[in-house]
Structure 1
Amino acid sequence: MDLKFLAIRELIKEADDSLATISEKGGAIDVEDPMAQQLFNALVSAYGKRSALTHGSFNEENSEGYPFIAGFKKFIDSTPDDATFLSLCDQALAQLAASLQQPSARSATGGYVIFMYYSSDVFDYLLIGLVRDKSGVAFDQDLNPTKVIEVDLEKLHQAAKINITTYKEGSDSYLSFIGSRRKGDITHYFSNALGCTDVVPSKKSTSDLIRASEDFCRHYHLEEKQDEIVEDVVSYLSRQREDKQSAYLPDVAQIFDNHLPPEQAEQATGTFSKFANSENYQVSQEFQPHTSTINSYTKVKAKMDNWQLDFAKRSLGNPNSNSEIEFDPQTNSLRINRLSTKVIEQLKQALNVDD
């Protein structure tokens, strides 16, 4: 990763106070400073560890109402330097301060706003994060413990990350956000100030993608291969999450193309992306996989000498849970519910039981 520009400013606001002000302190930071590099690595790492990112785009239909959007476009269309970068930071701060003074943000507090423009692999990013102080302990020269105030770099209270490269390429999804959990979603003052709209929680994107995968299999009569295909999709999502990478709809479409039989290849090849991106599912071209949702679809495999089991973890439950498969830890036994007619007939035939 290559840090190109770094700036630190401060927003001052107390909880339940309607006034938010911008401190005159701070500004551009020398990116060659070792502490700047440490700060950069810490914030990128903290952002990457979040499991509930929301992805979206700018509110282009009402960009006049969000000055940051125009400032961002001007910045990326120019040759970036300290002056243009600080101008963009000033615009963002002004919008954040204004948004903090809205009634819906009355309980929010200020903090240090860190702006980072950097490149990673083939992508350029703008990361804006809000961090706050925390109390710590240090020793004085006589080794007496003393209270110190330090910046909590491991906890991003609010953050926005813009993939400048994919924005320029016209991607549908190029923004991701961390927001306040107290209101149950991300669309709070931070994302509003930057003009973000149509944000979709990563949990919904992940579950909708898997739902679209199952429906696509039924639509193209791939029921016999459905379990294998969905398992491949879940494995892909799991790998992306472990690598702290986004999931890409074209990658998932390639999984389907690899499973299509020759007689359906001409009709169905390359169609999954459009299928999943339709109004019924609204899966973005890029999103952050959701760990808990992935885990619920992970396969549980068990094998004994005379039998074997292979089922999704979400199918398993305790006794009387109305799950498809119930495990009783008291008797160490399994109960399988809601058997299909086909399975029932197979079992009857195996037992030679007549209707």
Structure 2
Amino acid sequence: MPIRHCIVHLIEKKPDGSPAVLHARDTELAESQAIENLLADLNESYNAKQGKAWGYFHDESGAFPFSGWLAQYLENAQDFTAFSRQAVEHLQKLMEESNLSTGGHVLFAHYQQGMTEYLAIALLHHSEGVAVTDSLDVTPAKHLDLGQLHLAARINLSEWRNNKQSRQYISFIKGKNGKKVSDYFRDFIGCQEGVDAPGETRTLLKAFSDFVESEDLSEDETRAKTSALVDYASSQARLGEAITLEELSGLIDEDRPKAFYDHIRNKDYGLSPEIPPDKRTLNQFRRFTGRAEGLSISFEAHLLGSRIEYDEAQDTLIIRQLPTQLKDQLKRNKD
């Protein structure tokens, strides 16, 4: 993971309305194994976070100047240190306006993975711990607590520059509990949500369920294709990468690698060629299937306990809200 530029600034701020004090670094950090380890750990923690949103920049303006500064840096109009200083001063101002915000170390890292360039920005905090010294004394020690990562964003610089129509080149951690204390950080980046990751993932799983039904597959074939989808989508979620529909289609059916992709396009589910996976939605998805003596039953696991009830003692399933197509057939048969 080549790191092109990296710098850390410090903003001291308590969530009590007190002024935010900036301690800005004058030069970027030199390459080191410690920096590489930090960025690797940061990416691992960030990728594991649930509740991320995907979006794109607001138009550059006085309220949202960050994208303009970033463009100047990428066009070599200013260096990385000057860009990060402008950005962190803007963050300091927004942090002062947000009484609930807390300061911390602000990391800016421009790095590359494969052919793709990224900019990661994160507000880092410390935890108190203990360490054993060379003389075998026990002493208090601070360490960066990446498990408590609440304010961070990652910008796919390559996609931003090369795909002007994209609405998902920025990902950021969403806050919780109503009006979010993290709103100021999203505004600092100048980002607006462009893709509903849980909704897109649910639509993908619905398209897959429809595809499996239309193919009239055996139980083993259905299970294998479901595993292929969930394994691939979960892997992409761990890596912080999008699901590529064409790649997924090839994994689901190696003999007919375009079959699932064509199904999605022909049925017009409205999915983009690449969609961000939502881990929570994926974790809920598993199919129960069974077939015997002219009876075929298949449903998603999350429906059990809501629309579908299983009575083990009576060996029965109770199904509510039957599909419209099935109800129509039953009505016609009754007539």
Alpha carbons of structure 1 residues 235 and 41: separation in structure 2 relative to 1, 3 Å: closer
Alpha carbons of structure 1 residues 344 and 316: separation in structure 2 relative to 1, 3 Å: farther
Question: Letter of the aligned partner of 1:312 in structure 2?
Answer: E
Alpha carbons of structure 1 residues 295 and 41: separation in structure 2 relative to 1, 3 Å: closer
Alpha carbons of structure 1 residues 243 and 34: separation in structure 2 relative to 1, 3 Å: closer
Corresponding residue number in structure 2 for 1:150: 143
Corresponding residue number in structure 2 for 1:289: 277
CA apart distance, 1:154: 3.7
SS of equivalent to 2:79? helix
Q: Confirm or deny that 1:174 pairs with 2:172.
A: no
**Conservation of the 8 A alpha-carbon contact between 2:151 and 2:182:** no
In the alignment, the residues of structure 2 paired with residue 257 and residue 89 of structure 1 have an alpha-carbon distance, to the nearest angstrom, of 45
**Conservation of the 8 A alpha-carbon contact between 1:39 and 1:153:** no
Q: Deviations over 1:262-286 (max 9, x none)?
A: xxx7xx88567xx444xxxxx5664
Corresponding residue number in structure 2 for 1:9: 9
Farther off after superposition, 155-164 or 286-295? 286-295
Residue 224 of structure 1, aligned match among 214, 222, 226: 214
**Conservation of the 8 A alpha-carbon contact between 1:89 and 1:115:** yes
Alpha carbons of structure 1 residues 97 and 183: separation in structure 2 relative to 1, 3 Å: farther
Correspondence list, 1:321-340, <5 A: 322-328=306-312, 331=313, 333-338=315-320
CA apart distance, 1:181: 2.5
CA apart distance, 1:305: 11
CA apart distance, 1:13: 0.7
Q: Confirm or deny that 1:23 pairs with 2:2.
A: no
In the alignment, the residues of structure 1 paired with residue 260 and residue 30 of structure 2 have an alpha-carbon distance, to the nearest angstrom, of 53
Question: Letter of the aligned partner of 2:42 in structure 1?
Answer: L
In the alignment, the residues of structure 2 paired with residue 185 and residue 257 of structure 1 have an alpha-carbon distance, to the nearest angstrom, of 43
**Conservation of the 8 A alpha-carbon contact between 1:173 and 1:286:** no
Question: Letter of the aligned partner of 1:63 in structure 2?
Answer: S
CA apart distance, 1:315: 2.1
Corresponding residue number in structure 2 for 1:45: 44
Corresponding residue number in structure 1 for 2:184: 189
Q: Confirm or deny that 1:90 pairs with 2:85.
A: yes
Question: Letter of the aligned partner of 1:177 in structure 2?
Answer: F
CA apart distance, 1:157: 2.3
Question: Letter of the aligned partner of 1:245 in structure 2?
Answer: E
Corresponding residue number in structure 2 for 1:280: none
Question: Letter of the aligned partner of 1:115 in structure 2?
Answer: F
Farther off after superposition, 166-175 or 62-71? 62-71
SS of equivalent to 2:87? helix
Corresponding residue number in structure 2 for 1:131: 124
**Conservation of the 8 A alpha-carbon contact between 2:168 and 2:195:** no
- Gaps in structure 2 of 5+ consecutive residues: none
**Conservation of the 8 A alpha-carbon contact between 2:53 and 2:193:** no
Corresponding residue number in structure 2 for 1:247: 243
In the alignment, the residues of structure 2 paired with residue 152 and residue 193 of structure 1 have an alpha-carbon distance, to the nearest angstrom, of 23
In the alignment, the residues of structure 2 paired with residue 71 and residue 237 of structure 1 have an alpha-carbon distance, to the nearest angstrom, of 34
CA apart distance, 1:113: 0.5
In the alignment, the residues of structure 2 paired with residue 153 and residue 115 of structure 1 have an alpha-carbon distance, to the nearest angstrom, of 15
**Conservation of the 8 A alpha-carbon contact between 1:55 and 1:287:** no
TM-score, normalized by length of structure 2? 0.78
How many residue pairs are counted as aligned between the two chains?
319
SS of equivalent to 1:72? helix
**Conservation of the 8 A alpha-carbon contact between 1:7 and 1:114:** yes
Alpha carbons of structure 1 residues 342 and 196: separation in structure 2 relative to 1, 3 Å: closer
Alpha carbons of structure 1 residues 190 and 260: separation in structure 2 relative to 1, 3 Å: closer
Farther off after superposition, 298-307 or 168-177? 298-307
**Conservation of the 8 A alpha-carbon contact between 1:52 and 1:201:** no
SS of equivalent to 1:240? helix
Corresponding residue number in structure 2 for 1:315: 303
Identity %: 22
Alpha carbons of structure 1 residues 124 and 142: separation in structure 2 relative to 1, 3 Å: closer
Q: Deviations over 1:133-175 (max 9, x none)?
A: 1100123466453322222234322111011111111233210
Alpha carbons of structure 1 residues 184 and 249: separation in structure 2 relative to 1, 3 Å: farther
Q: Confirm or deny that 1:118 pairs with 2:111.
A: yes
Question: Letter of the aligned partner of 1:86 in structure 2?
Answer: T
TM-score, normalized by length of structure 1? 0.74
Q: Deviations over 1:81-114 (max 9, x none)?
A: xx61112111210221121122xx3111000011
Q: Deviations over 1:33-87 (max 9, x none)?
A: 2212221211122212223221100002x534322111111112228xxx61112
User: RMSD value over aligned CA atoms?
Assistant: 4.1
In the alignment, the residues of structure 1 paired with residue 81 and residue 75 of structure 2 have an alpha-carbon distance, to the nearest angstrom, of 15
**Conservation of the 8 A alpha-carbon contact between 2:127 and 2:145:** yes
SS of equivalent to 2:61? helix
- Gaps in structure 1 of 5+ consecutive residues: 278-282
In the alignment, the residues of structure 2 paired with residue 294 and residue 188 of structure 1 have an alpha-carbon distance, to the nearest angstrom, of 26
**Conservation of the 8 A alpha-carbon contact between 2:53 and 2:173:** yes
CA apart distance, 1:23: 1.0
Question: Letter of the aligned partner of 1:248 in structure 2?
Answer: T
